[in-house]
Amino acid sequence: MKKKWIRCLSFQLVLLLMLTSLSLFAFAEVDESQVYLSGEAFAAAPEQTGMPVKVKAKSALLMDASTGKVLMAMNEHQKVFPASVTKIMPLLLITEAIDNGKIALTDMVTTSSTASSKGGSQIWLKEGEAMSVDDLLKATAIYSANDACTALGEYIAGSSEGFVKMMNDRAARLGMKDTVFINCTGLDDDTDDHLTSAYDIALMSRELLKHERIINYTTVWMDTLRGGQTELVNTNKLVRFYEGTTGLKTGTTNKAGCCVSATAKREGTHLIAVVMGSENSTDRFEGAKAMLNWGFANFATVTPQINKSLVTDVAVINGIKETITPVIPEAAPVLVTKGSQDNIKQDIQMAVNVEAPVEKGQVLGTVTISLDGNVIDELKLTSPEAVRRLTFFDVFKRLLLSLAS
């Protein structure tokens, strides 16, 4: 009886070890198919401090996309594995290349052996297969396809290594001090050095949102490639279930946990919610929604309207023209606490006159915009043209014209 009990216990232990091994192999970069993460590779989220809402994650941040103002943050500079959230940078570089005319959406890209051999999320590109930039961009933005992302990177940089260098150079220019990219996909099975932070992800997310064309991809719930043979379903579930969602990118690996850079826009306010290292997919999306809901409930984006009646013409002393009408620039959008819009004030200071010559763009006055006594913007009122100084012949000509009249 005792031997039978020991054999039964041994069988259960072997079965448990087999199941544990299988679970570890399950968490390659597949983004949304995974729900719960466990094991030594993924540590539990730290105790949350200083956040007005509860977010179950290692780090998190809410940023206003228009101004870059951080509205709440937790461990925002902690270096973490980003998984496929990495692809925000490739999407930025590809979009910039399109907008700069370096490449076109209709360009055909031939798949290399390197691109076709990528694991994880993919559209199963074959070596030598040609696909348009537009379709590869769809596959990357919607389905997080590693092979498509690699093919695009090789197309604009010449090689995978060259593209990773472009990514790191662009990160440096954006001030992403916590970031080192090792690849363009976020796959981290073979590296412990592919790291970034919630703050840096918000920085590159904000930069990507400046290119409005990307929203045509990141807001698509379902699409197809290859004439309907390949189906794409967005890895970002907020696209379907959260009002105003504009993107942006998800990521999941065993090292990274469940991550997302979630962006949404309501009534002119565009927010970026970054959640890194949640233990499951539900926690990441619930955390992002909680931050976004709090942001939309407490803040509004307004654009101050300059009181043009207070901007007067400026007299030009000894100039070929007697007066100049200053150019009035548009004020930038301002993020304010809801209900405080009426506290925005503007102070306009104008020069009474200026001595010729006057240069085009010369400052003739300023508009100082403040909120609750704090300066939030300063605009320069400038000359729309150059005005040269009067010469003897100009004066003589005016005299003759006055006598003739």
pLDDT band at 344 (very low <50, low <70, confident <90, very high): very high
- Catalytic residue, chosen from 56, 58, 87, 249, is 87
Three-class SS of residue 274?
strand
CATH assignment of 308-393? 2.60.410.10
Q: What is the pLDDT of residue 38?
A: 38
- Catalytic residue, chosen from 112, 144, 261, 281, is 144
- Options 3.40.710.10, 2.30.40.10, 1.10.10.10, 3.40.640.10; CATH for 27-300 is 3.40.710.10
Q: What is the pLDDT of residue 397?
A: 78
The per-residue pLDDT for range 238-261, each reduced to its tens digit, is: 999 999 999 999 999 999 999 999
What is the average pLDDT across 365-370? 95
pLDDT band at 393 (very low <50, low <70, confident <90, very high): confident
What's the chain's average pLDDT? Answer: 89
Helices (H) and strands (E) in the chain, counts: 11, 17
Query: Residue 144's closest CA among 261, 289, 32?
Result: 32
Q: What is the pLDDT of residue 22?
A: 35
Inform me whether the pLDDT recorded for 26 exceeds 50. no
What is the β-pairing status of strands 323-324 and 269-278? unpaired
Using the 8-state DSSP alphabet, how is residue 211 labeled? S
3-state secondary structure 231-269: EEECCCCHHHHCCCEEEEEEEEECCCEEEEEEEEEECCE
205 is catalytic: no
Q: What is the pLDDT of residue 347?
A: 95
CATH topology identical between 27-300 and 308-393:
no
How many other CB atoms are found less than 10 A from the CB of residue 241? 11
58 is catalytic: no
pLDDT band at 33 (very low <50, low <70, confident <90, very high): very low
What is the average pLDDT across 87-104? 98
> Is the model more confident about 264 or about 32?
264
CB-based burial label for 342 (10 Å; 0-12, 13-18, 19+)? exposed
- Catalytic residue, chosen from 58, 59, 66, 84, is 84
The per-residue pLDDT for range 373-385, each reduced to its tens digit, is: 899 899 999 999 9
Q: What is the pLDDT of residue 252?
A: 97
How many other CB atoms are found less than 10 A from the CB of residue 33? 12
pTM of the model as a whole = 0.83
pLDDT band at 34 (very low <50, low <70, confident <90, very high): very low
Q: What is the pLDDT of residue 398?
A: 73
The per-residue pLDDT for range 321-343, each reduced to its tens digit, is: 999 999 999 998 999 999 898 89
Locate the domains of the chain by residue range.
27-300, 308-393
| Cα R_g (the chain), whole angstroms | 29
Yes or no: say if 93 and 166 are a contact pair by the CB < 8 Å rule: yes
The per-residue pLDDT for range 132-152, each reduced to its tens digit, is: 999 999 999 999 999 999 999
144 is catalytic: yes
Q: What is the pLDDT of residue 402?
A: 76
The per-residue pLDDT for range 115-128, each reduced to its tens digit, is: 999 989 999 999 99
Q: How far apart are CA 164 and CA 387, in angstroms?
A: 51
Q: What is the pLDDT of residue 256?
A: 97
pLDDT band at 186 (very low <50, low <70, confident <90, very high): very high
pLDDT band at 400 (very low <50, low <70, confident <90, very high): confident
